[in-house]
Amino acid sequence: MSQASQADRPSTGAGEPKKFLSIVIPVYNEEKRISPTLDKIIAYLAGQTWSREIVLVDDGSSDGGIALAQQKLAGHEVCRVINYGTNRGKGYALKQGMLASQGRYVLFTDADLSTPIEELDKILPWFEQGFDIVQGSRKMPGATVERHQPWLRENMGKVFTALSNLIARVDVRDVTCGFKAYRGEVAHDLYGRQHIYDWSFDAEIIYIARRTHYKLKEVPVRWFDESGTKVHLVKDSFRSFMGLLTIRLNGFRGLYDREISAQVHQEPGTKEA
């Protein structure tokens, strides 16, 4: 599914052609890592014919990462930047990017590109099989971990996935892999109902998807650990555990079943490069 015809590019209500793919990248002080990531994405997209956009979400960065990214993408790819002026967390950044996306399919990838962008070739064909969400997994047969995380962090991730399956009943092997794709309307629906913005946001989105009976597929991917994580193991692990309990409580309260207005943060706004 590396090519797309005009039929693959439905129109929006305004009569403007919809992008085939949106790539949403949350960015928080990524000046040291964003340049090689975008070089790889630009090179990959140069071989594709479908329409696309890159949505950078500035989560209150204090460095020059966003400016560097815009400069890197200028003349190569359509780029939009969402900036709301303060650090709100990766989950919040993703919510803004997902709700702003215009693609028929929307890919979320981390700024360090731990899963190579070429793995998208494994993701896209599954949408043709009727799946609504297709996400990468480092923890299933066929996955390749080329460089592992430090022992403690890797095992904390395994514990979090186990707790997510036990408490939130997400029924996946890898909750936190930063390489997930959605049908555009599904991304808007799920992230429009999101409430949690810390490390447990991944589990919340999958939990909502399960309640809504969206079809989810895990696909084994290549992955390598990239230094420079913003995760604080003790603090974020405690918050994540509490987040899982909150997810179940929200579910019991019917919070995810309510219609929620999917409005993108408008201050100070979105700009296109």
Report the interhelical angle of 34-45 vs 65-73 (nearest 10°).
20
- pLDDT of the residue at 6: 32
pLDDT at 196: 94
Within-domain flag for 141:
yes
Mean pLDDT of the chain: 85
Name the pLDDT band for 229 (thresholds 50, 70, 90): low
| Residue 9 region by backbone torsions, left for phi larger than 0, else alpha for psi between -120 and 50, else beta | beta
Count the domains in the chain.
1
Terminal-to-terminal C-alpha distance of the chain: 28
Whether 51 maps to a domain, the answer reads: yes
Q: In sequence order, which residues have a C-beta less than 8 Å from that of residue 128 and are 6 or more positions away?
A: 1
Tens-digit pLDDT profile for residues 124-163? 999 999 999 999 999 999 999 877 665 566 667 778 888 8
Instruction: Give the separation between CA 188 and CA 261, rounded to whole angstroms.
Output: 10
- Is the model's pLDDT at 266 over the cut of 90? no
Task: Assess if residue 62 is contained within a domain.
Answer: yes
Beta strands, E only, the chain: 19-27, 52-58, 79-83, 103-109, 133-137, 144-147, 179-183, 216-220, 222-224, 269-272
Q: Which residues contact 246 (CB under 8 A, 6 or more apart)?
A: 195, 196, 200
Average pLDDT, integer, range 102-117: 96
For residue 26, give its domain range: 8-261
Residue 167: inside a domain, yes or no? yes
Which pLDDT value is given to residue 102? 96
72 pLDDT higher than 90: yes
Tally of CB atoms within 10 A around 188: 17
User: 140, 150, 214: which is closest to 177 by C-alpha?
Assistant: 140
> Does any domain span residue 155?
yes
| 1 in any annotated domain | no
Residue 5 in this model has a pLDDT that exceeds 80: no
Comparing CA positions, the residue from 69, 120, 59, 115 lying closest to residue 90 is: 59
Token digits of residue 247: 């997810």
Look up the CATH number of the domain holding residue 156. Answer: 3.90.550.10
Compute the distance between CA of residue 70 and CA of residue 166 in angstroms, rounded to an integer: 42
Q: What is the pTM of this model?
A: 0.85
The answer to whether 52 and 3 are in contact (CB under 8 A) is no
Please give the pLDDT value at position 265: 44
Domain contains 268: no
Q: Tokens for 99?
A: 């709700």
- Asked if the peptide bond before residue 220 counts as cis, ω within 30 degrees of 0, the response is no
| pLDDT tens-place string over residues 153-188 | 666 777 888 888 889 889 999 999 999 999 999 999
State the pLDDT at residue 97. 98
- Rg of the chain over all Cα atoms, to the nearest angstrom: 18
- Per-residue pLDDT for 59 more than 70? yes
Q: Is 161 domain-assigned?
A: yes
Q: Which long-range contacts (CB under 8 A, 24 or more apart) does 249-258 make?
A: 250/195, 251/207, 251/211, 255/195, 256/193, 256/207, 256/208, 256/211, 257/211, 258/193
